[in-house]
Amino acid sequence: MFFTVMAFMMLSTIPTQVKAADNTKTVTTATTKSDVSTEAALSARLDEIKAMDMSTLTRSEKKELKSEVKAIKSHQEEIYVTAHHHHSGVYFGAGGLLVVILIIILVV
């Protein structure tokens, strides 16, 4: 019974190496000078937008600024994810986890 439980536990997990083999995108973690300068320019532009007096702007200008802020923030998140995103750990499948829990309940 012990070996059966261990077999189910081992088959219900997916190591990160298997997940990493499925990834077809190449991610570069090295930051270049252009990335750093782009990040600084984007941060400076966000500060400029925050310092603006929004009461004098028209509705369409506010809408343009809002879309620009969203674009800048998504670009910054993209830079952060490509530079700092690391996968580690073991992923459990929901079905495998359910089977293991059921077996443990049945044994006890």
How high is the pLDDT of residue 70? Answer: 93
Token pair in block for residue 87: 């996968």
Question: Which of 96, 103, 99, 85 minimizes the C-alpha distance to 14?
Answer: 96
Q: Regarding predicted confidence, which is higher, 19 or 5?
A: 5
How high is the pLDDT of residue 67? Answer: 93
How high is the pLDDT of residue 91? Answer: 67
| Residue 63, pLDDT above cutoff 90 | yes
| Residue 98, pLDDT above cutoff 90 | no
How high is the pLDDT of residue 69? Answer: 92
Q: What angle do CA 68, 73, 75 make, to 5 degrees?
A: 95
How high is the pLDDT of residue 64? Answer: 92
